[in-house]
Amino acid sequence: MFETSIAGSLPKPEWLAETQKLWPQWRAEGEALRQAKADATLLWVKTQEDAGMDIIGDGEQARQHFVHGFLEQVEGIDFVNKVKMGIRNNRYDAMVPQVVAPLRLKGRVHAFEARLARAHTQRKLKFTLPGPMTIVDTVADRFYGAGEEGRIKMAFAFAELLNQEALALQADGVDIIQFDEPAFNVYLDAAADWGVKALERAAQGLTCTTAVHICYGYGIQANIDWKQSLGEEWRQYEKVFPALAKSSIQQVSLECFHSHVPMDLMALLQGKDVLVGVIDVASDVVETPEQVADTIGKALQFVPKARLLPCTNCGLAPMSRAVAEAKLKALVDGAALARQRYA
Ligand code: ZN
C-alpha cells in the first residue's frame, strides 16, 4: 500500500552538469561524459533505495532535458540551428531545435541508462518519456505546417517514435513507462480532443504498467508566476481527466500538495491508479512526514487506498541535491506514517 516514487527527474551532481538549471551544460564530453552519466544514475538508484523508495527511477541523469534528451536521437531534427520559442502557451522562452524533415529514430534513445538502472535494482523500475503533445510544444516546426492540423500530424509522428522506444524499454525490463504531459494542463481542449489519443498511440502494445504525469511545471520562476495568475481554484485537470479515465493509460500522476487543485477532481479518475503529489518541488522547505500523511489522508476521500501512490508534484531537477534527498526521505517517512494511520 502507498508505494512511493518520484515524478521523474532528480538534480544532477555538480560534477556531471551545471546545477539548478533546466537546460544545464554538461561538465564533460565523449567517453568521460558517458561515464559521468552512468555514475550519477547509479548514485541516484542507490540514494532512492537508501531513502526507502519502492519504485526507482534513473533520475533522468543521462539527458540534458526531459524533452530534448529524446529529440537528440531523432532524425529530421536540426539541433544546430536552435530558435527561441515561447513554450507552454508563451509562459516562458526556450531555445528549441527545429523539425525540418520526416522523423525517424536514429536508434535506441535510453537503452544505456535504462539497462544500467535495471541491472542495479531489484525494485520496480519506472522510466519516463516526454508525451507527444509536450514534445510538439517544445520543438519548432518547419516541416508539418502551421495550425492545429500540423500539430496533430507531428504529435502522432512523435507518438510512433515514442512507442518504438517504449516497447524497447519494456524489453529492457522496465516495469512502468510514464509519459510526461505538462502540456495537457495548458491546451485543455486539444488535450481532451487529440492529446490523449496521441498518448495512447505512444503506449500502444505495452504490457507493462503505463502512466502519464501532468503537472504545473518545475519550480522555476516563470511557473511560480503563472500559478499565481490561475486564481483560487485550479480546475485544469477537469478537462482532461474524463478523457484519461476512458483511456488505456493505467496511472495518472498529478500535482497536489501546496497547489490549488481541488482534491475532488481526483474522483474523475475512477479505475486509475493515482500518483498523488505530496511533495512540493517549488519550495526548498522539506515536508514533514505528518504533512505528507495528511495529504494522503485528504486524497483518500477521493481515491481508494489500493489505488493511491504518493509521489512528488513534479521532477526535482532544478533543486539542490541535499534538499532533494531530504524530500525523498520525507516522502518515504510520510507514506509509512500514512500506512499506520489508514491501513
Ligand atoms: Zn512535472
Residues 14-70 pLDDT 10s: 999 999 888 899 999 999 999 999 999 999 999 999 999 999 999 999 999 889 899
Gap from CA of 246 to ligand 1 centroid (Å): 22
Gap from CA of 282 to ligand 1 centroid (Å): 11
**Whole-prediction pTM:** 0.96
112, 73 in Cβ contact below 8 A?
no
Can you give the pLDDT at residue 343?
87
Can you give the pLDDT at residue 219?
78
Where helices occur in 25-143 by DSSP H, the ranges are 30-51, 68-71, 111-119, 132-136
Helix, strand or coil for residue 24?
coil
Gap from CA of 221 to ligand 1 centroid (Å): 15
pLDDT in tens, 186-215: 999 999 999 999 999 999 999 999 999 999
Gap from CA of 219 to ligand 1 centroid (Å): 9
Residues of the chain with pLDDT under 50: none
Can you give the pLDDT at residue 223?
85
Gap from CA of 230 to ligand 1 centroid (Å): 17
Gap from CA of 315 to ligand 1 centroid (Å): 5
Gap from CA of 258 to ligand 1 centroid (Å): 14
Gap from CA of 318 to ligand 1 centroid (Å): 12
> What is the set of domains in the chain, with CATH numbers?
30-342 (3.20.20.210)
The overall average pLDDT reported for the chain is 96
| Rounded CA separation 162/144 (Å) | 18
Can you give the pLDDT at residue 16?
97
Gap from CA of 323 to ligand 1 centroid (Å): 17
Residue among 248, 241, 291 nearest 265 (CA): 241
Gap from CA of 288 to ligand 1 centroid (Å): 21
Helix, strand or coil for residue 339?
helix
Can you give the pLDDT at residue 331?
98
Can you give the pLDDT at residue 258?
93
41-69: b (≥16 Cβ within 10 Å) or e: bbbbbebbeebebbbbbbbbbbbbbbbbb
67, 109 in Cβ contact below 8 A?
no
156, 198 in Cβ contact below 8 A?
yes
Can you give the pLDDT at residue 121?
98
Gap from CA of 217 to ligand 1 centroid (Å): 5
Gap from CA of 8 to ligand 1 centroid (Å): 8
Can you give the pLDDT at residue 47?
98
| Rounded CA separation 89/184 (Å) | 11
Gap from CA of 31 to ligand 1 centroid (Å): 30
Gap from CA of 178 to ligand 1 centroid (Å): 11
* Residue 272 Cα distances to 87, 89, 237, angstroms: 29, 28, 14
Can you give the pLDDT at residue 220?
83
